[in-house]
Amino acid sequence: MSPAPARPARSLVTGVLPGFGLAFGWTLVWLSFIVLLPLAALAWKASGLGIDGFVALLASPRVRAALELSFGAALIAALINAVFGVLVAWVLTRYRFPGRSLVDAAVDLPFALPTAVAGITLAALFARNGWLGGLLAPLGIEVAYSRAGVVVALVFVGLPFVVRTVQPLLADFDREVEEAAATLGASRAATVFRVLLPPLVPAALTGFTLAFARGVGEYGSIVFIAGNMPGVTEIAPLLVVIKLEEFDYVGATGIAVVMLAVSFALLFAINALQHWTEKRW
């Protein structure tokens, strides 16, 4: 008599982690209250503009200049942080030097420091009579109350996102891979660019995305150093606040919806690129 066929083993996920339906349901409920409902309310309020209202809003030179500055400065600052954030993470991970713990703690200062305090500090440093501004002014370089000041503020607040994203990956990187590359005759430059950097690309893109998203919505650290001149150094979040102070709630939500749509499109493209690099490397 042939033995009875063995029953298929139960899934480890089903046996070890029961209650997926309940947990997933609570996840959807929580996300709906925290994310979806506010966004739905924003879209509903902005719908009062209508298509013609959105067209007129985007045709406004002041709105277009504010949006271009917010997204352009956030993109430039995120690119700068993607390069130097990886460098800072490399130094903190691979080298031991006096004061390393202080430098490592200083990276988190933009997280803990109130944005208004950061803006006042940067404005004092880069003003014409400031420590750094006094050195740059004779060279014809104006940072405070200019678009460059917006980029400087966004670099300051966005650096920790890249460093803290890349640093754990560097700490866990197997140094035997570097030794194997050196044993096979690879130069230091080849080891860095063909062995070390490719696995860091997904983490660097994640840090870039976080820094960019923070920069688009940043307000407190910019208003003190930018000067807030309409069409020149006025950012989109500040324009939203101005609209609210004028009781133009529909106009404020319209600008917010445009920022949300552009941010979502850019973040979707960056996440798609990140997914491709993860599969590639």
Using one digit for the tens of pLDDT, what is the confidence trace for 57-71?
888 899 999 999 999
Q: Are 76 and 153 in contact (CB under 8 A)?
A: no
Question: Directed axis angle between helix 197-217 and helix 249-280, to 10°?
Answer: 180
The encoded tokens of residue 183 equal 């044993």
- Once rounded to an integer, what is the mean pLDDT over residues 111-137? 88
Over 60: is that where the pLDDT of 3 sits?
A: no
Question: Directed axis angle between helix 61-94 and helix 50-59, to 10°?
Answer: 70
Task: Please give the pLDDT value at position 11.
Answer: 46
In this structure, the chain runs to a length of: 281
CB-CB neighbours of 43 under 10 Å: 14
- Once rounded to an integer, what is the mean pLDDT over residues 12-27? 70
> pLDDT category, 12, cuts 50, 70, 90?
very low
Domain 60-280, CATH class in plain words: mainly alpha
- Distance, CA of 144 to CA of 128 (rounded, Å): 8
- Distance, CA of 152 to CA of 150 (rounded, Å): 5
Over 90: is that where the pLDDT of 13 sits?
A: no
Would you kindly state where each structural domain of the chain is located, as residue ranges?
A: 19-55, 60-280
Please give the share of the chain, as a percent, with pLDDT higher than 90.
Answer: 30
- Distance, CA of 220 to CA of 154 (rounded, Å): 11
* pLDDT tens track for 189-224: 777 777 788 888 888 988 999 999 999 989 988 999
- Distance, CA of 35 to CA of 33 (rounded, Å): 6
Over the chain, what is the mean pLDDT? Answer: 85
Over 60: is that where the pLDDT of 21 sits?
A: yes
The encoded tokens of residue 98 equal 């006096």
